[in-house]
Structure 1
């Protein structure tokens, strides 16, 4: 593990495996770098360098914006974090973002991040339909500030993701709950990134970077709907179904093989 310095002074923890052109992997909500290690290994087996990192307020990364009033968080901070990671591993990189990480990757690409090929895995785009309330980030932050991180996690699961109540209760009563609570601040940031990207405008849709939108099977209806809608609106994009990826989880070998094939082409 190493740390790179983002533009606002946040320390971002980076893990690298393999050798070759870097493939930077951006995880989704509640994900840390460890969750993407199997995909990084699979990418390395395809002849690339697999790069994972803890997004700010997660794992071994810091968060220079936490509690700041003069320089609060905005989606641009996550774009800067990703750019700092890319610049630490090469002049440019292939980038794969999964779930909310796909939103970060898309936003960063539109803001000039040095990306050679963009892979967006099941981006949770709503295109203006059933969007969360605009004050969701503020309500999440209020819970975190009150020391109610567990309640923030539940609120994000309910309104930000749309999980059913039975699943939320199962997660809350499981050993996973403590880990998720430690990531409560990140729910605020994911909600803000989603608000900036969920109904993508011209700046996001008109990027010229070769883009592959990946979608698995038996996934959430929102995600199955969003992938083809994005490709319809994005001239640089193509849609690829990954049958091996199920229930919003990436299949590492299959996904790594698609990356290798699309980059070679």
Structure 2
């Protein structure tokens, strides 16, 4: 628990801004102070980081965008790439005047790319950015099968394909029959659908977004060295129980980015920054928020590795 007083969720406001290609991007705001933009990861919307926003809102104005294709933001449109993510973030930064940004997993890669080209970003924190050092077929080649299954309406099968391809589940998933995994996933989806309130983001509604996360992962594979020109201060975060295939990139980035700090949280996994839920029982947003508070309030570093 932190000693500062949390604001209530009722203080959250919603605004919209137009990205370069005309797409409307929704963002939710809470708190008072210097601006921080918190970008959510895969199979999430802005509301998956409300707890962390509330932890920070006594000292910062926290902005929570719905990345395109999710929540209240507009659709992906044609020609999706990391550049679209950068343009969306830039629109929010210009509208809010914020200079600090946090990203996790897929959005972590987009945030790092944005820090290369947007001088308005002064500090960046990323939690296990979805960056791989080379284009590994297992990690990037699952999208074709996923697309076929989704086109056939086999959402549970598609989710299993993405989980196996991205190695998101426990090791036992690799030896379980795919049919059993699909059946179990279908049961979880049905249970979630039954209990969902109108407008809730569910596995079923978020599943199509995984195609675009796969596109982003493949586009950015093997690009770690380009981040040598990032001028912003960067905080690299991860958990000791995080995704193993992302740890090599964290180590490379630590050596590549000029002004960088790195922190590993003992016992935390890939979903640590997000709200606690049935799908994310190990979330510890208050722990990650405490480190963000330290980083975003600290004086400018002189260049650490």
Q: TM-score, normalised by structure 1?
A: 0.85
Match of 2:124 in 1: 118
Tell me the CA shift for residue 204 of structure 1. 2.7
Of 94, 115, 137, 1:87 maps to 94
Q: Does 1:174 align with 2:174?
A: no
- Pair 1:139–1:94, CA change in 2 (3 A): same
Q: Within 5 A, what are the aligned runs for 1:1-265?
A: 1-45=14-58, 47-65=59-77, 71-90=78-97, 92-112=98-118, 114-128=120-134, 130-132=136-138, 136-164=142-170, 165=173, 169=182, 170-175=184-189, 179-243=202-266, 245-246=268-269, 248-250=271-273, 251-263=284-296, 264-265=298-299
Task: Decide which moves more: 175-184 or 34-43.
Answer: 175-184
Root mean square deviation, CA, Å? 2.6
CA contact (8 A) 2:149 2:157 kept: yes
**Structure number with larger C-alpha Rg:** 2
**C-alpha displacement at 1:238, in angstroms?**
1.6
Q: What 5-or-longer segments of structure 2 have no aligned partner?
A: 1-13, 194-201, 274-283, 300-305
Distance 1:118 1:247 in 2: 18
Q: Which runs of 5+ in 1 are unaligned?
A: 66-70
Instruction: Figure out how many residues of one structure are paired with residues of the other and give that number.
Output: 258
- Residues 171 and 224 from structure 1, CA distance in 2 versus in 1: closer, same or farther, beyond 3 angstroms? farther
**Structure 2: distance between partners of 1:115 and 1:242:** 25
> What secondary structure sits across from 1:126 in the alignment?
coil
Deviations 1:95-118 (A, max 9, x none): 110111211211222232631101
- TM-score in terms of structure 2 length: 0.75
Once residues 39 and 30 of structure 1 are traced to their aligned partners in structure 2, the CA distance between those partners, rounded to angstroms, is 17
Give the distance between the partners of 1:141 and 1:4, measured in 2 at CA. 30
- How big is the shift at 1:149? 3.8
CA contact (8 A) 2:128 2:270 kept: no
* Aligned-partner SS, 1:193: helix
